[in-house]
Amino acid sequence: MNKGRVLVVDDEESLVRVIKAMLANEGYEIDCAYSGEAAVDILHSKDMDIVISDLKMSGMDGMKVLEKAREINPAVGFIMITAFGTLQNAVEAMKRGAADYIIKPFGMDELRLRVRQLMGRKRLELENVELRKELRKQSRFEGLVGSSEKMQAVYDIVRKVAPTDSTVLIYGESGTGKELIARALHFHSRRCDGPFVAFGCGTLPESLLESELFGHAKGSFTGAIRDKKGLFMAASGGTIFLDEISATGPGIQMKLLRVLQEREIRRVGDTRSVKVDVRVLAATNEDLKNKMERGEFRQDLYYRLSVIPIDLPRLAERREDIPLLVKHFLEKYSGGPEGKERKMGPELLEILMSYDWPGNVRELENVIERCVTLSDGHIFRIADIPDRIVECSRKRERKLKAAVHEFERNYIKKVLMESAGNKPLAAGILDIDLATLYRKIDRLGLSREENKQEAG
């Protein structure tokens, strides 16, 4: 198995052959160069994981090879070897990007270990990069599935705002995906490699909330047995997401305003302020403007938070997205696209689309998870979903039928009145045949009204 590609550079051919044999036996793919110039040519034509180069060579020396290697491939690992080892050379090589430095003479076991360690570090770095890419991909609009016009408008704002450091205030009912929007903003920002810290402000009383957000100094209150840095410091270099921002009291609001204005915090019990580099995202399911107008939320903080407002629609306002969300959650809880295929029949999907979903996307996800967990079949039945959804759907259907019935009755009645009871004329106006009109008059109870009028 190929463990990686290594380029060995030295004008001492016998040493190059020994190193090549040892590393090839370890499973590495080896290229050799007997001068700095030849090494650079190879680096231009092949991707190397590690370069092992002598420092002192005629022509282009090892320092120049290091410089060229880093220009061609900044991620390449570089091990410098030399018989002229000095601390100054070691420091200079490290400054220029070398990962390691070995002094001749050295044992092959030592070089084998250094190469193995460096390759392990590089592999870990690559895995971390790929993991971050995957996390960004997964977090792009994870759970925010939908092609509706309302959701496309939300996506457009996220794409425009994410690369900036603007403060964003996300409005939406519980279950609409406010934290998912915040994560999408973070993972598409320049802070994506920094921490994302999410916190619900309604979970703690104000006295504890202040310590949780801003930290405290040792001895600042009973139980403060050590210093605590707080969530703003934990989010340094990244993003902090404050959900339920409307639940904060006047004291916390004043401190949050200071963070947004001065970019600094002060721990509980401390006299010094500390600068913080954090992007602030906030969310609420309340009308924050109304709270501000009632004096329950600071006006200056409101305007600082709502630089960019994002309104998340209720699921009932984007019913056309329900089939896509159902498919998404079926894949999620059935083991992905390659998992056991599970389907919703048309009748059941119609019931889901007619329900109002007061818990929004979160409620729909819970229902689909329940179906996948409890159902034995691959096509779900009405019995697999909660009774409340079926009953609400049936009530809605009855109301709709009643409304359609009433509209049709009033419309035909109006046409009959305008045609002075002339049914052939009324049928022509309605664009239906006469027999159909008689059936509708009878079904809608209009014949009884005619009989009453004639009897009167």
If you ran DSSP here, which 8-state letter would residue 382 be given? G
Question: Looking at residue 84, what is its pLDDT?
Answer: 66
| Helix, strand, coil tally for the chain in percent (to 5) | 55, 15, 30
Which pLDDT tens digit goes with each residue over 88-125? 777 788 888 888 888 888 889 989 999 998 988 888 77
Q: How far apart are CA 177 and CA 241, in angstroms?
A: 13
* 350 & 302 share domain: no
| CATH code, 321 | 1.10.8.60
- Whether residues 188 and 303 fall in one domain: yes
- Give yes or no: residues 12 and 73 share one domain: yes
User: What pLDDT score was predicted for residue 136?
Assistant: 46
Confidence of residue 1 (pLDDT cuts 50, 70, 90): low
142 lies in some domain: no
| Same domain, residue pair 258 and 278 | yes
Does a structural domain hold residue 137?
Answer: no
| Pairing state between β 274-275 and 264-265 | antiparallel
Tens-place pLDDT, residues 121-178: 888 777 666 655 554 444 445 557 888 889 989 998 999 999 999 999 999 999 999 9
CATH number, domain with residue 18: 3.40.50.2300
Phi, psi (degrees; rounded to nearest 5) at 159: -60, -40
Amino acid at 134: E
Number of domains making up the chain: 4
Residues 204 and 220 in one domain: yes
- 32 and 71 in a single domain? The answer is yes
Does residue 391 form part of some domain? no
Tokens of 252: 């916390």
Last residue of a domain, one of 385, 416, 444: 385
Same domain, 211 and 336: no
Each residue of 391-423: pLDDT tens digit?
Answer: 876 776 776 677 777 888 888 888 888 888 888
- Given a cut of 80, whether residue 341 has pLDDT beyond it is no
Q: What is the DSSP letter of 216?
A: B
- How far apart CA 199 and CA 309 sit, in angstroms, is 19
User: Which pLDDT belongs to residue 217?
Assistant: 78
Confidence of residue 380 (pLDDT cuts 50, 70, 90): confident
| pLDDT at residue 94, as a whole number | 81
Measured CA to CA, the distance from residue 6 to residue 16 in angstroms comes to 12
Task: Give the CA distances from residue 102 to residues 92, 106, 274, in Å, rounded to whole numbers and listed in that order.
Answer: 14, 7, 43
**Token representation of residue 10:** 């030295």
Least confident of 10-19, 273-282, 284-293, 377-386: 377-386
Average pLDDT over residues 267-294: 90
Note whether residue 434 is domain-resident: yes
Q: How far apart are CA 12 and CA 330, in angstroms?
A: 63
The confidence score (pLDDT) of residue 210 equals 87
d(CA 162, CA 424) in angstroms, rounded, equals 65
User: Do 309 and 232 share a structural domain?
Assistant: yes
Site of tokens 């004043």: 254
Q: In degrees rounded to 5, what are phi and psi of residue 280? A: -105, 125
Percent of the chain whose predicted confidence (pLDDT) is above 90: 43
pLDDT per residue as tens digits for the range 37-59: 999 999 999 999 999 999 888 88
**Mean pLDDT on 237-257:** 94
More confident residue, 293 or 90: 293
Q: At what angle do helices 87-95 and 62-72 cross, to 10 degrees?
A: 20
Q: What type of residue is 31?
A: D
- The answer to whether position 257 is within a domain reads yes
436 contacts 427 by C-beta, under 8 angstroms: yes
Q: Is residue 143 part of a domain?
A: no
pLDDT, one tens digit per residue, over 427-443 is 888 888 888 888 888 88
Q: Are 43 and 73 in contact (CB under 8 A)?
A: yes
Say if residue 9 is in the same domain as residue 120: yes
Same domain, 202 and 302: yes
Judged against a pLDDT cut of 90, whether residue 246 lies above it is answered with yes
Residue 78: what pLDDT? 94
Is residue 174 domain-shared with residue 88, that is, in the same domain?
A: no
Pairing relation of β-strands 308-311 and 196-200?
Answer: unpaired
The pLDDT value given to residue 130: 62
Do 126 and 206 belong to one domain?
no
Decide if 19 is inside a domain. Answer: yes
What per-residue confidence (pLDDT) applies to 137?
47
Global confidence as pTM:
0.59
Contact 24, 30 (CB under 8 A): yes
Cα separation, 133 vs 41, whole angstroms? 32
Domain finish residue from 254, 282, 313: 313
271-278 long-range Cβ contacts below 8 angstroms, 24+ apart: 274/233, 276/232, 276/233, 276/235, 276/236, 277/236, 277/237, 278/232, 278/235, 278/236, 278/237, 278/238, 278/239, 278/240
Collapse the DSSP code of 341 into the 3-class scheme (helix H, G, I; strand E, B; otherwise coil) and give the result: coil
Q: What is the pLDDT of residue 277?
A: 93
Q: What is the pLDDT of residues 7-44, one digit of tens each?
A: 999 998 999 999 999 999 989 999 999 999 999 999 99
Q: Does residue 207 carry a pLDDT above 90?
A: no
Range of the domain at 236: 149-313
Q: Looking at the domain assignment, is residue 261 inside a domain?
A: yes
Written as one letter, the residue type at 425 is L
